[in-house]
Amino acid sequence: MHKVRFADKTFLPSKIICVGRNYAAHIAELNNETPTNMVLFAKPNSAITDSLNSEHLGETLHYETELCFLVKNKQLAAVGLGLDLTKRDLQSTLKEKGLPWERAKAFNGSALFTEFVAVNSNLHYQFSLKIDDKDTQLGDTKLMLHNAEQILAEISEFMDLEDGDIIMTGTPEGVGKVVANSTFVVTLMDGQQALLSHQWQAL
C-alpha cells in the first residue's frame, strides 16, 4: 500500500476521489460539455507513485495538475498538489461509448502527490506547473466551478471518507503529453506565500 506525508507523519489513503471538469477553460480546451452535476471518479491506492512516467503499457500519458486535499476526521485537514496521469486517447474512446473512465484514469502509477501542509482558514489557493522552466498550468480556487467545501459535502452524501483519503479537485487548462526527460515543477501558493514546491523528472 502506498502512503503520503503530512506534518512529518505518513497516511495511507484507502482511495482517491477525483473531480472532473471543474474549470471552464479546461472543459473548453478538450471540447467537453459543462456537466449539470459534479463529475466524480475514483482511483485506488495502487494508483499512487513517486515516478512520473511518460507511458504505461505502451500508451502515452497526459498530465493534469490538481489541487488536492487530505481528509482527516471527515474534514479537509491538509492541502497539496498532485498529477492526475491520463491515457487521453483511451479516455476519448471510453467517453464516446459512454463507458467509465477507470481504464484511462485509475491504472497503476496514475497519481503523484507532493507532501501535504495544513489548510488555511478560507481554502483559497493558487498553484502552478512549470515544465522545463516554462509556465504550463496556472490554477486558482476562485476559478473552480465547485469549491472544496462543496466537493467534500457532495462526496460525503454517498461515501465515507477515511483518514488519509485524498480529494483531487480538477485541473485548469494547459494539459498535455508527458515527455520523457522533461522536468516538472509544481508550486502551491497562498496569495504571495509559497507553501510548497516539488519537482519530478519524467521517465
pLDDT of residue 31: 64
Instruction: Find, among 183, 193, 166, the residue nearest to 81 by Cα.
Output: 166
| Residues 167 and 40: beta-carbon distance below 8 Å | no
| Strand 126-131, strand 176-177: pairing | unpaired
Note the pLDDT of residue 29. 64
Domain spans, the chain: 4-201
Q: Taking residues 21-48, report their average pLDDT.
A: 80
Q: What is the CATH number of domain 4-201?
A: 3.90.850.10
Report the share of the chain in percent with pLDDT over 70.
95
Residue 14: count of CB within 10 angstroms of its CB = 16
C-alpha cell at 115: 507532501
Q: Could you report the per-residue pLDDT of 104-163, keeping only the tens digit for each?
A: 999 999 999 999 999 998 999 999 999 999 999 999 999 999 999 999 999 999 999 999
Q: Which of 112, 128, 202, 133 lies closest to 171 in space, CA to CA?
A: 128
Q: Is pTM beyond 0.85 here?
A: yes
Supply the pLDDT for residue 34: 66
